[in-house]
Amino acid sequence: MRQHDWCSLAKNLKIETGLFIDGHFVEALKGNRFDSINPATGKVLASVAYGGEDDINRAVAAAKQAWHSGHWRHMAPRTRMGILMRLADLIERNSAELALLETLDMGKPITDALTIDLPEVINTFRYYAECIDKIDGVVTNTAPEALHMIQREPLGIIGAISPWNYPLLMASWKVAPALAAGNCVVLKPAQQAPLSCLRLAQLFIEAGGPPGVFNVVNGDGPVTGKALALHMDVAKVSFTGSTAVGKQIMIYAGQSNLKRVALETGGKSPQIFMADLENLDAAVERAYGGIFDNAGQVCNAGSRLLVHRDIHDAFVERFIARSSQAYQPGDPLDPATTLGPVVTRAHQQGVLEKIKQGSLEGAHLALGGSAPAGMEQGAYVTPTLFTGVDQNMSIAREEIFGPVASVMSFDNEAQAIAIANDSIYGLAASVWTQDLKTAHRMVQAIEAGVVWVNCFGDGDMTQPFGGYKQSGNTRDKSFECLLGYTQSKSAWFNLE
């Protein structure tokens, strides 16, 4: 579709704005609403129902009723599989509409929403649907007078709290495995991008999902998210967001019912370029894609570029020349646009402030560093590159969550690893080298949950995705993640 077609589709889009509880849309009990703003235009996109603590209680009660009815958790595995497969098909059929909601709500380019986010959401539901009848228990090797079975059971009610950078995808990484394992879910999406998840819940019912099994309550963090994380009937909170809020979620679990807490939090991922890498052009292309895709609003964004001194100047020169061509800010509804606005005006100001700080601390601003001229209506930030960065500078230590990269040079492998690991984060990293032994050594030495060799951001649903250190305590995607939504039950039969 062309830009014009997306604009007319946007004009005629029916946007759901209620809370989704027990299988249908309802108003918030107190009737409160908040505005969802399109960050490309600064205009109000929709007025959305704002759920308070009473609404969270209502949603958890609906989930509890669905849980106790047993309709979902005791459904024959392949019947449950059929519903999630149908949901995946419905998402596919409604891809254009869902992609449009993402773009209007949080500013990502429509081509990215359509070719990255939506296919990944569909993959996520299909993968976890396929896993349902692969969850095995075991019978252990006991004396003949006993039979010992260990089976896996769902946990109960899952509170899912998700971020705005890939609104539907990050929510799906929680909702799909939680539902596949037989749990009931209350999802609290990020208030900056609340719309697409409402549609997802509606499609779940259309696919044949029982009411109450999947509920969505929009609202903010300190009230709505907190009420969910403190709720005594929630068995587990699965959270993706900032490290600061992740710490708070652990406190809520301790203050309430010791619910399980799964955290996927921030990152400051190093991309390491050794002097012997095979193809500098390919490496540079992945380097800027790794930080400028989604306007840098990616948890594993490769924001620290560690470049061997021998190739530093050639690397920087190509990075600047090519990335400024490849990432031009534009209207996210134009299929040719590669760089949309960041999610809100406030976030834009925060990113620009961190850029200013980088310059004040003595880094050299080699590219960008401002809001692009002529695009003041939107929350845009130009692709930005700092060179001459010291590891102690704030731009090298703090997560910026915008299109801002820092280049640091190194002389040898040990130095590269020391810089890479000198971070409170450990979500992801990449290593570029032709030498298999170097690659293998570095993979072992790097403190990160995901290490890419001669690529960046690659993977499929079998890949456990999550962090070391303060980047989190769990893994999304993969079978490992699905098991995190189950618990073991040991049944010991006395046969004497």
Contact between 473 and ligand NAD per CB under 6 A: no
Nearest residue (CB) to ligand NAD, 221 versus 302:
221
Tell me the C-alpha distance between 325 and 74, whole Å: 55
Q: Does 117 bind ligand NAD (CB under 6 A)?
A: no
DSSP string, 163-202: -SSSHHHHHHHHHHHHHHTT-EEEEE--TTS-SHHHHHHH
**Per the residue annotation, which of 16, 102, 264, 413 is the catalytic one?**
264
**Least CB distance from residue 267 to ligand NAD, whole Å?**
5
Burial letters 83-102, b for 16+ CB under 10 A, else e: bbbbbbebbeebbbebbbbb
How far apart, in whole angstroms, are the C-alpha atoms of residue 224 and residue 16? Answer: 19
243: which residues sit within 8 A by CB, 6+ positions away?
265, 266, 399, 424, 425, 470, 471
Of 203-211, 240-248, 320-328, 376-384, which segment contacts ligand NAD by CB under 6 A? 240-248
Q: Is 349 in the site for ligand NAD (CB under 6 A)?
A: no
Site membership for ligand NAD, residue 163 (CB under 6 A): yes
Report the amino acid identity of residue 154.
P
Q: Is 368 in the site for ligand NAD (CB under 6 A)?
A: no
Q: Is 165 in the site for ligand NAD (CB under 6 A)?
A: yes
Contact with ligand NAD (CB under 6 A) among 266, 330, 341, 368: 266
Residue 416 makes contact with ligand NAD by CB under 6 A: no
Tell me the HSE value of 62 on the side-chain side, using a 13 A CA sphere. Answer: 24
225 binds ligand NAD (CB under 6 A): yes
Question: Could you say whether residue 112 binds ligand NAD (CB under 6 A)?
Answer: no
Tokens of 265: 């939090």
3-state DSSP call for residue 436?
A: helix
Out of 90, 121, 179, 245, point to the residue binding ligand NAD (CB under 6 A): 245
Nearest to 281 by CA among 315, 307, 247, 242: 315
Nearer to ligand NAD among residue 299 and residue 306 (C-beta): 299
Among 125, 164, 327, 452, contact with ligand NAD (rule: CB under 6 A)? 164
Answer for which of 37, 299, 420, 442 binds ligand NAD (CB under 6 A) is 299
* Only segment of 39-47, 52-60, 288-296, 467-475 that touches ligand NAD (CB under 6 A): 467-475
Token output for 335: 């299929």
* Interaction of residue 38 with ligand NAD, rule CB under 6 A: no
Nearer to ligand NAD, 6 or 401 (CB): 401
**Cα 217 from Cα 254, distance rounded (Å):** 23
Applying CB under 6 A, does 240 fall inside the site for ligand NAD? yes
- CB of residue 192 to ligand NAD, shortest distance in Å: 7
Rounded to the nearest 5°, which phi and psi values hold at 196?
A: -65, -30
Task: Mention every residue, 6+ apart, whose C-beta is less than 8 A from residue 151.
Answer: 137, 488, 489, 491
Minimum distance, C-beta of residue 221 to ligand NAD, in the bound complex (Å)? 2
Per the annotation, the verdict on 264 as an active-site residue is yes
Q: Please, which residue, 263 or 277, has the CB nearer to ligand NAD?
A: 263
Contact 175, 185 (CB under 8 A): yes
Do the Cβ atoms of 117 and 169 come closer than 8 Å? yes
> CA of 403: how far to CAs of 23, 166, 231, 379, in Å?
39, 16, 37, 12
Identity of the amino acid at 174: K
Task: Pick the piece of the chain touching ligand NAD (CB under 6 A) from 159-167, 281-289, 322-330, 387-395.
Answer: 159-167
Is residue 185 a contact point for ligand NAD (CB under 6 A)? Answer: no
Shortest distance, position 226 Cβ to ligand NAD, whole Å: 4
270-289: contacts with ligand NAD (CB under 6 A): none
Active site residues: 264
Residues that bind ligand NAD (CB under 6 A): 161-165, 170, 188, 190-191, 220-222, 225-226, 229, 240-242, 245, 248, 264-267, 299, 399, 401, 427, 467, 471-472, 476
